Amino acid sequence: MQKLLLATLFIVLCAGIPAVALAQSAPADNPFFAPYGTPFETPPFERIQPGHYVPAFKQAMDEHKQEIHAITMARSVPTFANTIEALDRSGTLLDKVSGVFGALRGAITNDQLDSIANIVTPLLTSHRNDIALNEQLFQRIKAVYDAHSTLALNPEQSMLLDNTYKDFVRGGANLSPADKVRLRGINDELSMLSLKFNQNLLKETNTYKMVVEKAEDLDGLPPAVVATAAETARRLKLDGKWVFTLQKPSWIPFLQYAKNRTLRETLYRAYCNRGDNNNAADNKQLSSRIAALRVARAQLLGYPTHAAYVLEENMAKTPGTVYEFLNRLWEPALRMAQKERDALQAMVRKEGNTFTLAPWDWWYYAEKVKKAEYDLDEDALRPYFKMENVRKGAFDVASRLFGLQFIERKDIPKYADDVQVFEVKGMDGAHIGILFTDYFLRGGKRPGAWMGSFRSYGRIGDSVITPVVYNVGNFSSPAADKPALLSLEDVETLFHEFGHALYGLLSRRAYDNVGLPRDGIELPSQIMENWARHPDVMRSYARHYMTDEPIPEALVQKIVKSETFNQGFASVEYLAASILDLDWHTLSDTTSRDATVFERTTFDRIRLMPEIISRYRTPYFAHIFSGGYSAGYYSYIWAEVLDADAFEAFREKGLFDRTTAEAYRRNILERGGTEDPMVLYERFRGKKPTIEPLLKKRGLL
């Protein structure tokens, strides 16, 4: 169930616009229908063609149906092994196909893959509905669940049984026949609306170009940013001009450094108005309809709101708990942001200007204030953050904590030339898994950074299935005369996604349908950011790309002293988005809302200051309207409470204390989700987490 849900979700999240017609036939040697025959059974990308996907998906769904039929038609009494475990083991081919297709749809899509996404999304939704609403299957699951107290199950098996039963109940298994029909209709419409939402957002993000024709309009920009903009223009056959896009490595440096305030406003408005241009790609009505359908589905299933439905499965449990948590952070964050605004406004006046600070001014003047207060220029850090060195720094942290080795493999197929592949081994040299790293901008890659897997760890009897995972980013690519140089934020992103990869590589869960809940899944990633910024670690990987000299101690100390700089801004823009998410998903009726009015009402209620725009506005809030974070965007800061508290254990015992690292690996990375997550956390930490380390980390105390 969970595997199928995640596969469908990933396709919806990544899907693009329909384009060319797709051939419905495939060569007889479809690589999905046999062992790959590659090292560690990694996907043979050079042999996988677009025409293979639809036949592979259809056969995979047929095979999955046959497996489900065998479970439901068995004459034997339902047992954990022949029902719960058998269901968890089913759908292997579907996982195989979905894993490759979803990865490529995110990282290197094209018109054909976009068309395939439009074909397979409704097929997968229907397939998922068929399983979730299968009455005979549910009765067998219920029979095992009702006998739970008499079964000799270990904690992970108990968790699998509970999850499986709840998945079916929450998926509509107890509904009447008429309500099941209604639920199918809601699920079908939601899947296609989410698909359309993301299509629109990708179109608005990827088609916008701000063309600069006069060199004086580039005043203030670092040479590397100007060179990248010129290269983008050349690729678009606009030689002699400069092009800026809505991709993060392009628009953020422009807002940080460009003196031309009018152009800063132009680019910023373009970013913040994605999906809100009253054109064919407008997302306002789509988001309102998605929210209304989620209310209808939640109430059909017996929940007052979509948030109540979602949060039941999370650590937070209820919307009230989340609101209370966010409100506790909001007031100190807002006070700090107001102080930051005053400092920026003072800098505006100091320069002889009389205008009132606007959202498109914040990044520019924050950079000036940082330089004035800390003598720290973000662009001066880049020469010390060569991508390969930063990645090695992350690898070294994992080596010192967990005894891992990362060995590049040139013999494993890749889906793009700039992807690199590493075999991961343990201290004893035993194979653990494979890690693909794909960090650079390219056409066809969706924005952001993420981790995923072509294959997850598993055990069937005595056989072990080793994981194949990947990290994807959107960092600036190497230039002709210099390697890829990262910003400090990029460095943290690389370590963050690597933390997700470690969870995928080191998990030793026996079953697929167990794992950390949404508001706990960010702990393994966010805790790694602490090592990324720690001076002792930074000194090991931050070396000048030309001289190989380590980063000067004075620069390290400037970074340390500036750690809480601008944290009011960062906290407020994030918390505003989290509250907006929760407001949309605590609606209790299906009335159509004007999305603009709705979000303005939210921001007025919480007194969001006009100089800061929510990190995500409704029309481009893909996390909640086309991704898996609806009623769950708060998860990042909830997990930050955990990661700040967890890292305190390393501060107390030693940055690379092996006893602490072993406890963290055993309870969080290997066993995360196999028992109640708070029980496992307390087993690692020896106590419940407290919020104080987070407040201290963000400077909110």
Q: What 8-state DSSP symbol labels residue 543?
A: B
**Side chain identity at residue 83, one-letter code:** T
| Catalytic pick among 85, 497, 522, 529 | 497
Cβ contacts of 605-611, under 8 Å, gap ≥ 24: 606/330, 606/576, 606/579, 607/334, 608/572, 608/576, 609/334, 609/337, 609/338, 609/341, 609/572, 610/359, 611/341, 611/344, 611/357, 611/358, 611/359, 611/361, 611/362
Cβ contacts of 533-539, under 8 Å, gap ≥ 24: 533/492, 533/559, 533/563, 534/655, 535/559, 535/560, 536/655, 537/393, 537/397, 537/655, 538/393
CA–CA separation, 661 and 641 (whole Å): 19
Contact predicate 287/621, CB 8 Å: yes
Residue 77: CB atoms within 10 Å: 11
Cβ contacts of 30-39, under 8 Å, gap ≥ 24: 30/55, 30/56, 32/56, 32/60, 32/93, 32/96, 32/97, 32/100, 33/59, 38/412, 38/413, 39/409, 39/411, 39/412
At which residue do the structure tokens 């040697």 appear?
Answer: 29
DSSP for 685-701? HSS---SHHHHHHTT--
DSSP for 320-334? HHHHHHHHHHHHHHH
Q: How far is CA 480 from CA 227, 228, 231, 362, 484, in A?
A: 10, 11, 10, 32, 10
Burial of residue 659 (CB within 10 Å: 0-12, 13-18, 19+) is exposed
**β-sheet with 405-408: strand ranges across:** 405-408, 420-425, 431-440, 468-475, 450-455
Residue 340: CB atoms within 10 Å: 24
Which one, of 551, 530, 425, 400, lies nearest residue 485 by Cα? 551
φ, ψ at 17 (rounded to 5°): -85, 145
| Spatial CB neighbours of 355, under 8 Å, sequence gap ≥ 6 | 261, 348, 361
Residue 37: CB atoms within 10 Å: 9
Contact predicate 426/57, CB 8 Å: no
CA–CA separation, 304 and 588 (whole Å): 6
For residue 439, the SS3 value is strand
How far does Cα 450 stand from its chain's mean position?
Answer: 5
At which residue do the structure tokens 């196909």 appear?
Answer: 97
For residue 631 the two structure tokens come to 């009623």
| Active site annotation includes 497 | yes
First to last CA, the chain: 43
CA–CA separation, 561 and 551 (whole Å): 16
Active site (catalytic) residues: 497
